Amino acid sequence: MIRPSPELLAVSRRWYDAIVTRHPSELQNFLSSGAHLRFVGSAEDEHWLGTAVRQAIGDHFHEVPELIRKEELAAEAFESNGAGWSFFAHRFWFENRPDQPVTFRTTLVFTLEDGSWKIIQRHASVPVSNALITGNEHKAIQALTEAAQQGFALGQREGLASVMFTDVVDSSTLANALGDRVWSARVAEHFNHLRGIIETHDGQFVKSLGDGTLSSFSSAKAALAAAVDIQRAMTEQASEPYLQLRIGIHTGDVVQSDDDFFGNVVNKAARITATAGSGEIRVSDITRAMVGGASGFAFSAPRSARLKGFDGDHVTHALEWSA
């Protein structure tokens, strides 16, 4: 059975972090020791295999100009019966061309070796217009996708909802310390706990996102109450590692299709979450206004911040809570 893999998402992200540090032994540790190892780069002649890849991987990435910034554009990972794969899209800024970001799309294929995930194939590409390669744009799949999206519209539901994101603070540090299997089990336990709290407040646990979650509530009051209970639960963890969360909430019109949520409200809720500190619940101005003077909620003075992907300044509030 093919299933999403938070574990391989974590492993893949550590691989990309290791590329930045370019330490040979750290990079080699991610790679399979078998002769079936394949490494396909973005250049025409970059197709290597076997032990040569392991031996030269550090030198290969040292030839790449120093990376001054990277932005993750897309990420997904799956596993099935001892095999797995991940897809990532990044935008990179290099020291020698700081004003010319480059987009890379990379697929990593994994196998389990002695209980650890190892890369057996890496394939990277730089998007180029098909018109430049073949003289024609390839539109068949895009047309089919657009037609499918139009068909899905019949099953979509639109309406007002409060969207909540949770995110584990310093998750990469914890994952590195615990190892992939222990961390994956801890995150799964964490998700089950959050799901129970969310559903107690009549919310919908929509999906997990790496070590974070997305959920939806029919009222702002329910979302805020759930967020407070979640943060309180974080103070009552029975064993290490003690997870700390940042939470963000925004309210507005959303579109739901196939048990997922879409739209600017979802995107803005995610950006608000990124502005929250450890143990903090930050909510949008509209979410704060929705509950008015509802008993049991207190907010800090408003704070204005810029949110990535949105114009202008946006007011957010910290929802106060205590254990």
The reply to whether 120 falls in a domain is: yes
What residues of the chain score a pLDDT lower than 70? 1, 138-158, 257-259, 293-295
Is the same domain home to 165 and 117? no
Q: What are the φ/ψ torsions at residue 179 (nearest 5 degrees)?
A: 90, 155
Q: Residue 305 CA to chain centroid, in angstroms?
A: 22
Is the same domain home to 165 and 72? no
Is the same domain home to 183 and 280? yes
* Boundary (domain end) residue, out of 82, 109, 125: 125
Is the same domain home to 163 and 253? yes
* Boundary (domain end) residue, out of 76, 107, 125: 125
Is the same domain home to 180 and 310? yes
CB count within 10 Å of CB 90 equals 20
Question: Which residue, among 159, 87, 98, has the nearest Cα to 124 in the 3D structure?
Answer: 87
Residues with Cβ within 8 Å of 144's Cβ and at least 6 positions away in sequence, in order, are none
The reply to whether 14 falls in a domain is: yes
**Token pair 């073949």: residue:** 134
The SS3 of residue 118 is strand
Is the same domain home to 93 and 25? yes
Residues with Cβ within 8 Å of 234's Cβ and at least 6 positions away in sequence, in order, are 242, 243, 244, 245, 279
Is the same domain home to 168 and 314? yes
- Kindly report the CATH number assigned to the domain that includes residue 20: 3.10.450.50
Is the same domain home to 167 and 292? yes
Supply the pLDDT for residue 311.
Answer: 87
* Boundary (domain end) residue, out of 73, 101, 125: 125
The reply to whether 199 falls in a domain is: yes
The reply to whether 148 falls in a domain is: no
Supply the pLDDT for residue 154.
Answer: 39
pTM above 0.85, yes or no: no
- Kindly report the CATH number assigned to the domain that includes residue 283: 3.30.70.1230
Is the same domain home to 119 and 234? no
Supply the pLDDT for residue 128.
Answer: 81
Total domains in the chain come to 2
Supply the pLDDT for residue 258.
Answer: 61
How does DSSP assign 213-228, residue by residue? Answer: EEEEESSHHHHHHHHH
Is the same domain home to 106 and 164? no
Is the same domain home to 104 and 195? no
244-258 pLDDT, tens digit per residue, is: 999 999 998 887 766
Supply the pLDDT for residue 3.
Answer: 81
Supply the pLDDT for residue 200.
Answer: 93
Question: Which whole-number Å values give the CA distances from 51 to 18, 35, 119, in the listed order?
Answer: 19, 6, 13
Question: Which whole-number Å values give the CA distances from 18 to 22, 24, 108, 115, in the listed order?
Answer: 6, 9, 14, 21
Q: Mean pLDDT score of the chain, rounded to an integer?
A: 86
**Torsion sign over Cα 306, 250, 286, 235:** negative
Q: Residue 254: CA atoms inside 13 Å, Cβ hemisphere, count?
A: 25
The reply to whether 89 falls in a domain is: yes
Query: What span, in angstroms and rounded, lies between the C-alpha atoms of 309 and 265?
Result: 12
Can you give the residue range of the structural domain that contains 263?
158-318
281-310 pLDDT, tens digit per residue, is: 999 999 998 887 666 788 887 888 889 888
Is the same domain home to 188 and 274? yes
The reply to whether 143 falls in a domain is: no
The reply to whether 149 falls in a domain is: no
